[in-house]
């Protein structure tokens, strides 16, 4: 056994509380309702894995569960409401089945803490984003009869040691490399719900990836709120990490998300280009606003011009690069002209995919206290306008892919139309006719029809 494997195993033993291996579940069903980002999806996998060790059985429908957990998201306003409405639905189940236990975790759990239990007496326990590994303890205590547990402490001092836990990793899976965020963009609740930024040790990540390869995984997405500020041991930065995962593991494809423009440098672009056989030519690089005054108020630490310079550098360095982005419209004080700077930014860069949102004031954040909030109607109008302008451009942009051959990693069979589904190296979803034995293989597909979000093709 190598030194690094031992390190990770020790970590597993340390994080595993004695409650984990007890028969708390007695085979009963557990259902986890998940909202939000990939980080949350990964956290849910971790929760299921921990609860399976306590002899709970994951179930597909909440009606079949004795334990329901809502793994919530609070990055924008609506998901918070969703938690409340979902608790309402589960309340009816609890009235029929008094043994049913309900817990809330994730960012809403972190943010609302005891408010949740005060407002919703049906909730048995609430836990924060740093408390997932203690879930078996809360669950055991809940089933022993303890009521209204709230645990949302941040483990600020402890290192970020978690091994990846996925039950059925499939072809493509996620590996956390950083957590938390220290950037404090003025609109964003994440620094408050996920805590201070921490990086996992390099060797732990490499060991994780090697284990996943042994389980048949072909592609990993390195995950963090701000991956390119990764700080490993002995001065290892994100570019070094990427190169090591490419060189020192047998993983076929590597992606990562999310990057911050201020931390994106030439070294990282060069590393991507040098390892283009493994590191996919796709970057999600949120710009949030195309106007420098708004960027300043957002505390983003770059100007419009600096963002555009980085894009030019990336396009020069990485052949066939595909970019996507996040955008906020109607940030406090945004004028019509400043909003138009965002529209022209989308056009100038030529994003094939955008994720755009209306600004939503979040608790604890600076921007929520700005007095010049934009009214809802204006936000909606701007968002619709932005999507319309993007649609006009994106349908044209992707036409150039028609007739091209792409390397597609086959992930699964689409439930709806029975077609094979996979991703190109540029992260496009591609549908084509094929057989399930292709799952896990990388095949050549000729693109016959290209839409911004999905391509159709023929297996060559
Ligand atoms: N309002 C609207 N959108 C937000 N995002 C983060 N916080 C807010 C907010 N308060 C968006 C950003 C971020 C993405 C994950 O969610 O665009 O990149
Ligand atoms: Fe939020 Fe900004 Fe951190 Fe991204 S970089 S998680 S937007 S604070």
**Contact, 240 vs 279, CB < 8 A?**
no
Q: Is 190 in the pocket of ligand 2 (CB under 6 A)?
A: yes
The pLDDT assigned to 3 comes to 39
What mean pLDDT is predicted for residues 374-396? 97
Q: Is 75 in the pocket of ligand 1 (CB under 6 A)?
A: yes
Q: Which residue segment(s) compose the domain that 206 sits in?
A: 159-280
What mean pLDDT is predicted for residues 350-359? 96
Please give the Cα distance from 390 to 452 (Å, whole number).
10
Q: Is 181 in the pocket of ligand 2 (CB under 6 A)?
A: yes
- Where b means 16+ CB within 10 Å and e means fewer, 209-231 reads bbbbbeeebbbbbbbbbbbbbbe
Ligand 2, atom 5, residue with closest C-alpha? 183
Q: Which ligand is nearest to the CA of 181?
A: 2
The phi and psi torsions of 436 (rounded to 5 degrees) equal: -60, -20
Number of domains in the chain: 4
Which residue bears the tokens 């590191």? 279
Mutate to test the pocket of ligand 1, among 36, 357, 365, 376 (most ligand atoms within 8 A of CB): 357
Distance of CA 352 to the CA centre of its chain: 20
Q: Is 365 in the pocket of ligand 2 (CB under 6 A)?
A: no
Please give the Cα distance from 359 to 357 (Å, whole number).
6
On the question of pLDDT at 7 being above 50, the answer is no
Mutate to test the pocket of ligand 2, among 38, 180, 181 (most ligand atoms within 8 A of CB): 181
Distance of CA 146 from the midpoint of ligand 1 (Å): 37
Last residue of a domain, one of 383, 401, 419: 401
Please give the Cα distance from 31 to 206 (Å, whole number).
31
Atom of ligand 2 nearest to the CA of 181: 3
How confident is residue 174, by pLDDT bands cut at 50, 70 and 90?
A: very high
**In this structure, are 318 and 347 located in the same domain?**
yes
Backbone CA torsion sign across 151, 156, 161, 167: positive
**In this structure, are 250 and 299 located in the same domain?**
no
On the question of pLDDT at 294 being above 80, the answer is yes
Phi-psi region of 317 (alpha: psi -120 to 50; beta: other; left: phi over 0): alpha
CA angle 265, 229, 349 (to 5 degrees): 45
CATH number at residue 452: 2.40.50.140
**In this structure, are 7 and 127 located in the same domain?**
yes
Check residues 374 and 107 and name the one with the higher pLDDT: 374
Q: Is 39 in the pocket of ligand 2 (CB under 6 A)?
A: no
Please give the Cα distance from 404 to 264 (Å, whole number).
30
Q: Which ligand is nearest to the CA of 38?
A: 1
Q: Give the gyration radius of the chain's Cα atoms.
A: 23
What mean pLDDT is predicted for residues 194-216? 95
Strands 67-72 and 219-223, sheet pairing = unpaired
Atom of ligand 2 nearest to the CA of 226: 5
Last residue of a domain, one of 121, 151, 181: 151
List of E strands, 303-359: 322-329, 353-358
Q: Is 318 in the pocket of ligand 2 (CB under 6 A)?
A: no
Q: Is 359 in the pocket of ligand 1 (CB under 6 A)?
A: yes
Annotated binding site for [4Fe-4S] cluster: 37, 73, 107, 181, 185, 188
Q: What's the token pair of residue 302?
A: 């770059």
CATH number at residue 304: 3.30.750.200
CATH number at residue 274: 3.30.750.210
The pLDDT assigned to 258 comes to 94
Q: Is 172 in the pocket of ligand 2 (CB under 6 A)?
A: no
- The model's pLDDT over 10-62, given as tens digits with 9 standing for 90+, comes to 344 444 445 556 888 889 999 999 988 888 999 999 999 999 999 999 999 99
Give the dihedral of Cα atoms 248, 173, 440, 325; nearest 10 deg: -100
3-class SS at 314?
helix
Q: Which ligand is nearest to the CA of 364?
A: 1
**In this structure, are 86 and 44 located in the same domain?**
yes
The pLDDT assigned to 8 comes to 37
**In this structure, are 78 and 28 located in the same domain?**
yes
Q: Is 76 in the pocket of ligand 1 (CB under 6 A)?
A: yes
The phi and psi torsions of 59 (rounded to 5 degrees) equal: -125, 160
CATH number at residue 33: 3.40.50.2300
The pLDDT assigned to 2 comes to 37
Q: Is 74 in the pocket of ligand 1 (CB under 6 A)?
A: no
**In this structure, are 145 and 22 located in the same domain?**
yes
The pLDDT assigned to 20 comes to 59
How confident is residue 109, by pLDDT bands cut at 50, 70 and 90?
A: confident
What mean pLDDT is predicted for residues 380-389? 98
Q: Which ligand is nearest to the CA of 362?
A: 1
Atom of ligand 1 nearest to the CA of 326: 17
Q: Is 260 in the pocket of ligand 1 (CB under 6 A)?
A: no
Q: Which of 148-152, 162-166, 403-407 has the highest mean pLDDT?
A: 403-407
Please give the Cα distance from 69 to 73 (Å, whole number).
13
Strands 454-459 and 442-450, sheet pairing = antiparallel
Last residue of a domain, one of 401, 428, 448: 401
Pick the range with the lowest mean pLDDT from 236-250, 316-330, 383-397, 415-429.
415-429
The reported pTM is 0.91
Please give the Cα distance from 353 to 337 (Å, whole number).
23
**In this structure, are 42 and 134 located in the same domain?**
yes
Distance of CA 163 from the midpoint of ligand 2 (Å): 24
Distance of CA 249 to the CA centre of its chain: 23
**Contact, 368 vs 321, CB < 8 A?**
no
User: What one-character-per-residue DSSP string does 244-313 give?
Assistant: HHHHHS--SEEEEE---GGG--HHHHHHHHHTTTTB-SEEE---B-S-HHHHHHTT-S--HHHHHHHHHH
Q: Which ligand is nearest to the CA of 227?
A: 2
Atom of ligand 2 nearest to the CA of 189: 1
Mutate to test the pocket of ligand 1, among 35, 74, 76 (most ligand atoms within 8 A of CB): 76
Q: Which helix (H) or strand (E) holds 448?
A: strand 442-450
Q: Is 362 in the pocket of ligand 1 (CB under 6 A)?
A: yes
Q: Which residues pair with 220 in a beta bridge?
A: 173, 254
Angle between helix axes 38-53 and 135-143 (nearest 10 degrees) is: 50
Q: What is the mean pLDDT of the chain?
A: 91
Distance of CA 427 to the CA centre of its chain: 15
Q: Is 332 in the pocket of ligand 1 (CB under 6 A)?
A: no
**In this structure, are 89 and 11 located in the same domain?**
yes
**In this structure, are 69 and 11 located in the same domain?**
yes
**In this structure, are 10 and 139 located in the same domain?**
yes
**In this structure, are 337 and 352 located in the same domain?**
yes
**Contact, 232 vs 202, CB < 8 A?**
yes
Annotated binding site: 37, 73, 107, 181, 185, 188
Please give the Cα distance from 314 to 309 (Å, whole number).
9
Helices in 181-274 by DSSP H: which ranges?
Answer: 190-193, 202-214, 238-248, 266-274
The pLDDT assigned to 15 comes to 44
**In this structure, are 273 and 296 located in the same domain?**
no
């Amino acid at each position: 056994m190598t030194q690094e494997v031992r390190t990770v195993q020790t970590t597993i033993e340390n994080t595993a509380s004695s409650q984990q291996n007890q028969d708390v579940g007695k085979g009963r069903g557990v259902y986890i309702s998940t909202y939000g980002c990939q980080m949350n999806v990964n956290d849910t996998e971790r929760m299921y894995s921990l609860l399976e060790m306590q002899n709970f059985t994951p179930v597909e429908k909440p009606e079949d569960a004795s334990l329901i957990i809502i793994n919530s998201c609070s990055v924008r306003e609506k998901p918070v409401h969703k938690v409340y409405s979902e608790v309402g639905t589960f309340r009816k189940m609890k009235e029929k089945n008094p043994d049913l236990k309900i817990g809330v975790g994730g960012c809403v759990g972190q943010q609302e803490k005891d408010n949740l239990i005060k407002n919703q007496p049906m909730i048995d326990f609430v836990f924060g984003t740093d408390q997932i590994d203690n879930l078996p303890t809360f669950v055991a205590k809940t089933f022993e009869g303890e009521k209204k547990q709230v645990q949302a402490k941040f483990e600020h001092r402890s290192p970020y040691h978690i091994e990846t836990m996925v039950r059925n990793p499939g072809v493509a899976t996620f590996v956390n490399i950083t957590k938390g965020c220290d950037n404090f963009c003025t609109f964003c609740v994440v620094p408050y719900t996920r805590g201070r930024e921490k990086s996992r040790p390099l060797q732990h990540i490499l060991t994780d990836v090697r284990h996943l390869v042994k389980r048949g995984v072909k592609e990993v997405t390195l995950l963090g709120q701000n991956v390119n500020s990764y700080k490993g041991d002995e001065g290892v930065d994100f570019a070094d990490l990427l190169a090591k995962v490419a060189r020192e593991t047998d993983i076929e494809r590597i992606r990562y998300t999310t990057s911050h423009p201020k931390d994106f440098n030439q070294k990282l672009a060069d590393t991507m280009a040098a390892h283009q056989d493994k590191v996919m030519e796709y970057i999600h690089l949120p710009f949030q606003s195309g106007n420098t005054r708004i960027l300043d108020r957002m505390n983003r630490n770059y100007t419009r011009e600096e963002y555009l310079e980085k894009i030019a550098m990336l396009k020069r360095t990485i052949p066939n690069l595909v970019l996507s982005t996040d955008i906020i419209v109607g940030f406090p004080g945004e004028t019509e002209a400043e909003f138009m700077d965002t529209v022209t930014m989308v056009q100038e860069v030529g994003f094939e995919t955008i994720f755009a949102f209306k600004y939503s004031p979040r608790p604890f954040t600076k921007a929520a206290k700005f007095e010049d909030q934009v009214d809802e109607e204006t936000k909606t109008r701007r968002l619709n306008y932005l999507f319309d302008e993007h649609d006009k451009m994106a349908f044209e942009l992707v036409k150039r892919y028609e007739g091209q051959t792409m390397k597609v990693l086959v992930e699964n069979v689409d439930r709806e139309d029975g077609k094979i589904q996979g991703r190109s190296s540029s992260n496009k979803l591609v549908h084509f006719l094929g057989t399930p034995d292709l799952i896990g293989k990388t095949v050549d597909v000729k693109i016959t029809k290209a839409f911004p979000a999905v391509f159709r093709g023929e297996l060559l």
